Amino acid sequence: MNEHRVVVTGLGAVTPIGVGLKEFWEGLKAGRNGISRITQFDPSDFRSQMAAEVKNFNPEEWIDEKSVERMDRFIHFAMASSAMAIKDAGLDTFTFDGNRAGVIIGSGIGGTHTMEDSYSRLREKGPKSLGPFSVSKVLINMAACMVSVAFGLRGPLSAPSVACSTGTNAIGDAFRILQRGDADIMLAGGSEASVSPLPFAGFCATRSMSSRNDYVEKASRPFDKNRDGFVMGEGAGTVVLERLEHALSRSVRTYAELIGYGNTADAYHFTAPEPGGDGMIRVMREALKDAGIDPPKVGYINAHGTSTVLNDKIESAAVMKVFGDHGKHLKISSIKSMIGHLLAAAGAVEFVATVMSIYTGKLPPTINYEEPDPECPLDYVTKGVESTDLEVAMSNSFGFGGGNACLIVKRYGS
């Protein structure tokens, strides 16, 4: 039985437009573009040659030098964003019961940099060339595990992998644990660092990524008529969720209250969304029902908005189906226009942005929107940051394989 209210008390983000909550949020409000030609490998032979890479990131600011060598880049991101969220929530100086604190951080692809490096070593130098951490650096669960070790989080531990909805699922699952009273504190989110040749070539083969290589800063253009695919990004987002009673007991700042979660499957296709948007429609309705609110209460949606032809029009149609006439008045934006698609980390970073929209009353823009698409007829935020008296917001994530997840937050105290 879900008896406990849950609030957001800490936020951390490692993104292509800024490392840390302040830089990330200021970048969103400024409409900063984080997409450029790939620097981590030579992309000349690839159909798509751009990505939203994390810049100016030094893992040793959050992890000791010896441990850095034992972790893949996606674990570095998770450790950093978790340390930020812990500090932001004041848990770095507060003594809490580690048995009542857990972590759920997922990834979609895991340690691809390590995997590629290990395979090259194996082929060139044989099996004795691999180090003892070759396996642990690759495993998807190791981001959550290392965060657990670093901060003494001995409660529930999990690492979902649901493609592009992973981060949202992680936060939703942590929400459920706290609602049940099975923990007092949960760290939750997603991390991804797959800007490396193997996964990048695979996504190129799906032809779902933009090939606007001569105009990379305009490549990610959600809901625009001339969109031609998503742009891969990398990064991590972590949030601290607490039972309201626990947060009140330590007089901590509260960003927002998490009130609803939905999770559905399309059961349709490996990559394409169900054409009628059935899974998207059901997941938004599930989240609304879970939150106990009617559709007109929602004032803003941080959309999945990938910049692919299919996703954007199906998501727009699903919103119209769920919200009816109110859908015409909803404010909608996709921050993937600035940070690209962070895959498993996308939902977590977008949830951070959604919470900040509730907390500050500022809605980030969808940049690169130049020509309206008749099949995407909603009220997208496209002319810079908008101010609003926002009380309830929704964050959507829809992943390859048909996984759908939705979170609803409201202003604390409203």
CA distance 331 to 313: 16
Is residue 76 annotated as a catalytic residue, yes or no? no
- C-alpha of 59 from chain center: 20
User: Does residue 326 carry a catalytic annotation?
Assistant: no
Q: DSSP readout, 290-327?
A: HHT--GGG--EEE----S-HHHHHHHHHHHHHHHGGGG
Cβ-proximal residues to 135 (8 Å cutoff; 6+ apart), any chain:
none
For residue 243, the 8-state DSSP code is E
Beta carbons within 8 Å of 240's beta carbon, 6+ residues apart: 8, 9, 10, 11, 85, 86, 88, 89, 91, 185, 186, 187
Task: Report the DSSP pairing between strands 386-387 and 300-302.
Answer: unpaired
Q: Which tokens is 411 given?
A: 């202003």
**Among this protein's residues, is 4 annotated catalytic?**
no
Tell me which of 76, 145, 164, 204 is the catalytic residue: 164
Strands 36-37 and 50-51 turn out to be antiparallel
Rounded Cα distance, 224 and 217, in Å: 14
Strands (E), 35-180: 36-37, 50-51, 101-106, 157-158
**What b/e sequence results for 294-316 when a residue is b if at least 16 CB atoms lie within 10 Å of its CB, and e otherwise?**
ebeebbbbbbbbbbbbebbbbbb
Question: Which secondary structure element, helix H or strand E, spans residue 186, and what is its range?
Answer: strand 185-192
Question: What separation in angstroms does the CA of 126 have from each of 33, 129, 134?
Answer: 42, 6, 14
| Residue 187 structure tokens | 């760290």
Q: Residue 167 and residue 192: Cα distance in Å, rounded? A: 10
Q: Give the Cα separation of 228 and 222 in Å (integer).
A: 9
* Catalytic-labelled residue, pool 4, 76, 304, 376: 304
Which active-site residues does the annotation give?
164, 304, 341
